[in-house]
């Protein structure tokens, strides 16, 4: 997560100071701006694809063995339900159908708040090579959720699915 060095309001150097019992970056010298650094909402999609398979993606810059869920930031003014379908369309070229929301998951290491969804899609995949390095299609029963971020949402979904 990049941090600010200078005040976005008056361009003075920011410094670390306590505000409401937390260390914050503040513009103590001049205008009093506080960089609250609140978590950023991210939408993520478990993409169920055709016959009992999932599509996992690898973003550019990830290690070669890493695959995760389609995810992305909301646009200003965008509804999360629409944002998640837009991300699936952009990254994989698929018109997905929204099945359900799986809830909200904290990803503190990245200062994100994940809004996870189950979506279904079919048809030819057209991967966006600017955003993704690769994708893979795996049988749902072979999915092994990772213990952080969107992996927590995937784990919850698999458990729920198993229990029927």
Under the binding rule (CB under 5 A), the answer on residue 79 touching Zn ion is no
Under the binding rule (CB under 5 A), the answer on residue 31 touching Zn ion is yes
For residue 120, give the nearest of 22, 52, 23 by alpha carbon.
52
Direct distance between the N- and C-terminal alpha carbons of the chain, in angstroms, rounded to an integer: 38
Q: Within positions 80 to 119, which residues make up the interface with Zn ion, using CB under 5 A?
A: none
At residue 52's C-alpha, the angle toward residues 127 and 143, to 5°, is 75
Contact track, Zn ion, 122-141, x by CB under 5 A: --------------------
Under the binding rule (CB under 5 A), the answer on residue 17 touching Zn ion is no
Q: Within positions 33 to 52, which residues make up the interface with Zn ion, using CB under 5 A?
A: 33
Residue span binding Zn ion (CB under 5 A) among the ranges 30-38, 44-52, 78-86, 117-125: 30-38
Q: Please, are residues 43 and 65 in contact by the beta-carbon 8 Å criterion?
A: no
Distance of CA 102 to the CA centre of its chain: 13
Q: Please, are residues 47 and 70 in contact by the beta-carbon 8 Å criterion?
A: yes
DSSP class of 6:
B
Counting residues that bind Zn ion (by CB under 5 A) gives 8
Residue span binding Zn ion (CB under 5 A) among the ranges 5-13, 15-23, 56-64, 101-109: 5-13
> Which residue matches tokens 């955003």?
131
Under the binding rule (CB under 5 A), the answer on residue 27 touching Zn ion is yes
Q: Which residues bind Zn ion (CB under 5 A)?
A: 7, 9-10, 12, 27, 30-31, 33
């Amino acid at each position: 997560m990049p941090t600010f060095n200078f005040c976005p309001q008056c361009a003075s150097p920011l410094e670390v100071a306590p505000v409401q019992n937390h260390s914050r970056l503040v513009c103590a010298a001049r205008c009093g701006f506080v960089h609250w650094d609140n978590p950023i909402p991210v939408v993520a999609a478990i993409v169920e694809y055709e016959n009992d398979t999932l599509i996992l993606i690898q973003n550019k810059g990830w290690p070669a063995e890493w695959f995760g869920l389609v995810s992305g930031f909301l646009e200003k003014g965008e509804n999360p339900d629409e944002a998640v379908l837009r991300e699936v369309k952009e990254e994989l070229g698929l018109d997905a159908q929204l099945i359900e929301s799986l809830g909200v998951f904290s990803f503190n290491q990245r200062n994100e708040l994940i809004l996870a969804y189950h979506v279904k899609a079919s048809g030819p995949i057209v991967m966006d090579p600017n955003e993704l390095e690769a994708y893979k299609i795996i049988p749902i029963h072979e999915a092994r959720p990772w213990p952080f971020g969107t992996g927590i949402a995937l784990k919850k979904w698999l458990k729920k699915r198993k229990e029927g």
